[in-house]
A and B are shown apart, each in its own frame.
Chain A
Amino acid sequence: MGHEDHAWKGVGQMEGKERSSDRLSDMLSELREKEVLEMVRNALEEKVNPLSLVEELREGMAEVGRRFERKDYFRSELIMSAEIFKEAIVLIEPHLAAGQGENKGDIVIGTVKGDIHDIGKNIVATLLRCSGYRVHDLGVDVPPEAFVTKLLETNARLLGLSGLLTLAFDSMKETVCKVEQAGLRDRVKVIIGGGPVNEKVVEYTGADAFGKDAAQAVELARLYLEG
């Protein structure tokens, strides 16, 4: 397909089904990295509203999430789509006026004390960012106090705790306890995730819910911050 055919047309402006794959959102959901970036560059040159580009990209990510839920996509596609999204945002960001770009809510996230596994946590953080949340990722082996400090500093209403080892259950519990002691528990929802995490772990740690995968974590964020 030629470069000219790819001029950005915006949501719902393409004619006919056969051309649907020319939509930016479709290109992203089909992981066509080069085409996404080329289209974004062209659109920016044509002074297209950068926010509408971000919206298209988010729509693409939402479709990736739906495919993941249907098990048409696996985690590799989540990782690749998030990477393309990030690259596109890097191109778009300089064109956004200061303060422009919606923040759907602040979220503090990290792998809890004693655990350094971060594959799942990183995917969740990236997908949350793609969905429009401001994510404060504290990294791995994060002590409970650091989560509390960040919650106070950002006024975030959602805390995401991740861990793969069983020792993480205790660190999660301790973190929830510290959040409570800081008087924040009423306004902060706590979601947890990681390989062995299940309903029983939610009960043990005192968290509010768990996400069995990254897509579910995004759903929970939507529920708690926008619901």
Chain B
Amino acid sequence: MSPMTPMERIETAIRLGRPDRVPVVPIIDFFAARYGGITQHDMFFDLAKADLALEKTLRDLGPIDGQNLTYAGLGRIMQVIFPTPPQLPGVGDVPPDGQFQFVERSVMGSEEYKRMAESNPLRLLMENITKYHAEFRGPLGMARAFRIIISDTLKMRGSIKRWLRKGVVSTVAYNITFTPMEYISLFLRSLNDFVLDIFRHPEELKAAARALMKPMIMQGMLMIRLSGVRAVFLGGNRTSATFLNPSQFEEFALPEWLEMSEHFARRGITVFLHLDSDWTPFLTYFKDFPRGKCVLCLDGTSDIFQAKEVLGDHMCIMGDVPASLLKLGEPEEVDEYCHRLITEIGSDGGFILSSGCTVPPDAKPENVKAMLQSVHKG
């Protein structure tokens, strides 16, 4: 029997089947930039350079079946779509090879929840953006913002196609969106203030989140349309068990995680639940999510082996070679961990080997090589 194509391999794993071998699909742009000799700034803002850096990385360290989220060329879009732009390398005071990070601060008070709840959802999203980006205000500003989004996504779409021809699948492209609570706590309120809001203003917070549901879904659908990749990346961290207790999760977060996942799954869009931090106490809730249509991506903090026990017959599991192991470990240790993942989680299918969140820029190349090659060992 001829080997599966990378696409078939990944698709089979997502639908809970057993591919010819475990696919390996890391988030590798940050590392590939450093390894390929370009700055993090170039990776975010110069797609051609980023593609060359990735090519060198894969040539030297081994092939991959796909990339999970891609950041290459996404810099300008990130500056537009997020109300508080993350710290981007080479922008402002950040050195060109500095690291991308979100800025932890509140840009609105809790009293604004009421106004959010009463606003037209689309206008609300635009307001959130233009409030902190004067250059995108007014019809001309809006046109400028859309021109950036459309022109850069088309470039990235071209890159995705070229990589696919070389046998590298882009699983979610750059189709990022968030559940409303994740969005609020990441971009509008600091984590600390968000938690206090849960205790002090629960109803206002929930009403504002309800108003944000439609725009968050629209953001996902827009990116899916532009990229041509029928999958979406739902980023999760702040509604994890690292921060919330189970009853808070049930009340504030679970309904919207479920609603968004069902919305996309119904339309044949695969949902990558990118869950950073610890979700172990919440794993059983994911049994209610659409079967065989979601991928549970863990970052090395949650117990992935428990995830297999609880959800192995329900959704594909993806992960979770920890960043600290890739930086400080030895190739034998990486190989041993990957082997454990492949045999204990992947032996009956429904598993994709990946980095826990992203491969860090300062990972040891020999460790990345060990991870990429582990799937080819018998």
Contacts and interface: CB of A to CB of B under 8 A. Distances in A.
Contact of A165 (B198, B300, B360): B360
B39 to A, nearest CB: 14
Given A31-B199, A76-B243, A119-B191, A169 B328 contact: yes
Interface stretch (A1-9, A89-97, A197-205): A197-205
A149 to B, nearest CB: 21
A77 interface: yes
Given A79-B192, A169-B328, A201-B328, A74 B245 contact: yes
Contacts, number: 76
Interface stretch (B48-56, B96-104, B135-143, B228-236): B96-104
A114 B244 contact: no
B248 interface: yes
Interface residues of B, number: 33
A167 B243 contact: no
A119 B329 contact: no
Interface string B321-338: 011101111000000000
A116 B87 contact: yes
Given A119-B192, A197-B324, A76 B198 contact: yes
A166 interface: yes
Contacts of B191: 119
Interface in A71-93: 73-77, 79-80, 83
A55 interface: no
Interface in B300-348: 300-301, 322-324, 326-329
Nearest to A123: B192
B362 A119 contact: no
Contact of B243 (A75, A117, A118): A75
Contacts of A33: 199-200
Contact of A198 (B87, B243, B324): B324
Query: At the interface, is chain B mostly helix, strand, loop or mixed?
Result: loop
Interface string A163-206: 00111011000000000000000000000000111101100100
Given A83-B196, A204-B328, A76 B104 contact: no
A114 B98 contact: yes
Contact of B245 (A77, A165, A169): A77
A44 B300 CA distance: 49
Contacts of B300: 196
Contacts of B363: 166
A77 B198 CA distance: 11
Contacts of B277: 195
A165 B99 contact: yes
A22 interface: no
A74 B248 CA distance: 10
B361 interface: yes
A79 B192 CA distance: 7
Contacts of A79: 192, 195-196
A35 interface: no
Interface in B168-189: none
B254 interface: no
Contacts of B248: 74, 76
User: Which interface residue of B99, B361, B363 has the most chain A CB atoms within 10 A?
Assistant: B99
A170 B362 contact: yes
Nearest to A75: B243
Contacts of B98: 114
Contacts of A42: none
Contact of B360 (A117, A118, A167): A167
A56 interface: no
A63 interface: no
B119 interface: no
Given A116-B103, A196-B324, 4 more contacts: A76-B198, A80-B195, A165-B360, A201-B328
Closest 6 CB pairs of A and B: A196-B324, A166-B360, A74-B245, A166-B327, A79-B195, A76-B195
5 contacts: A79-B196, A116-B104, A167-B360, A169-B328, A204-B328
